[in-house]
Amino acid sequence: MMSSNPYRARDSGGLVAPFASTHTRTRHWLALATVGVVAAACGGHKSKSGASEAEGARANEPASVTLGAYTTPREAYAEILPAFRAHWTKSNPEGIEFKESYLGSGAQARAIIGGFEADVAALSLEPDIETIRKAGLITHDWKARPHGGMVSHSIVVIGVRAGNPKNIRDWEDLAKPGVTVLTPNVRTSGGARWNIAAIWGAALRGKTSAAKDSPEQASKLLAAILKNVKNMDPGARESLLNFERGVGDAIITYENEILVGKQKGQKYDFVVPRSTILIENPVAVVDNVVDKHGNRKAATAFVDFLVTPEAQRIYAKHGLRPVVDQVAKEVAATYPAPEDLFTIRDLGDWAGLQSALFDTGSAYDKALTAASAP
């Protein structure tokens, strides 16, 4: 059965379908890939009891799980999905198939709310999972899971050209005349919000030239950096691809993005600012969708697998910092230790930061307006 919904993942290996919007036309694409046996059933809404009956009725068919993720960890999931499939098949010989889509975290959250039937949401930051929850699609307490529902960590860093020809050492250097900077759009990218939160938090903590606990001076630093921003792409991955094409002198991004690029032979370097933020990446089962699809058992097992040592080592292999202490200790020497590493909780919480920094007319919008002034 075909769906007219533009967000729906269809069962075709390597299909690439456009990300549709009724408000804007865009060239941003929703990439969909099928892993394993390609077969899925599509049906109407089922109650929880109906979903259980559906799971039983399909007991001899492969389970099917659709992953809706943010853009940067796709290399990690390319290895994690087959690892989970091997794990699952040991006790479920019928096997499992996966479909995947990757977008900027905010855009992915909106796609799921708009009708893209992701069984599991793997996003960049808490507010994007919360957006799905507030829409009524996630009904369980996703934060009650181990590690508060987080499956990986990273930090915000500054990518620079090989040899660091602009001598960029910290946040203030991004505001220097003649330095062009890349960072994604905060309206579509979770990475962009982490980037802005890192600068804002470092300034408020007195780790920049701005006076400690001065939102006004933090805003001035932010405006000075934004004045040098050349591109605001939809997601962190698109931003990095532009950097790899030679655009910009510096990029504000996830540490893991830079590490993955260097693994692939890219010749850029990176700088860890004196003060930066710990990125915490959440994953949640989308209750409304798994109850409709009748695949809660498989989706939950997959989310559980993400915090096993096996999956955590794969995240680490692809530049992400593990959340499981055992694995974090194993790979600790791989990652530089920032002088001042802080978390969202050091700035209050996401709700407060959203109101102060990201809501319409808040500090970010004011800084962007100031940056645009002649």
Q: Residue 53's pLDDT is what?
A: 45
State pLDDT tens for residues 193-243: 999 999 999 999 999 999 999 999 999 999 999 999 999 999 999 999 999
Q: What is the pLDDT of residues 242-295, one digit of tens each?
A: 999 999 999 999 999 999 999 999 999 999 999 999 999 999 999 999 999 999
List pLDDT tens digits, range 113-139: 999 999 999 999 999 999 999 999 999
Q: Which two tokens stand for residue 351?
A: 């709700």
Residue 25 has pLDDT above 50, yes or no: no
| Cβ proximity of 173 and 179 under 8 Å | yes
How confident is the model at residue 353, as a pLDDT? 96
Rounded distance between C-alpha atoms, residue 180 and residue 166, angstroms: 10
Whole-angstrom distance, CA of residue 286 vs CA of residue 305 = 16
- The domains found in the chain, sorted by start residue, are 16-152+280-331 (3.40.190.10), 154-279+334-372 (3.40.190.10)
Q: What is the DSSP secondary-structure string of 23-53?
A: S-----EEEEEEESS----------HHHHHH
pLDDT at residue 304 tops 80? yes
Query: pLDDT averaged over the chain?
Result: 87
- Name, in order, each residue with C-beta under 8 angstroms of 357's C-beta and a sequence gap of 6 or more: 196, 197, 200, 363, 364
pLDDT at 15 over 80: no
Q: What is the pTM of this model?
A: 0.85
Question: What percent of the chain stands above pLDDT 70?
Answer: 84
150-176 in b/e form (b: 16+ CB < 10 A) is bbbbbbbbbbbbeebebebebbbbbbe
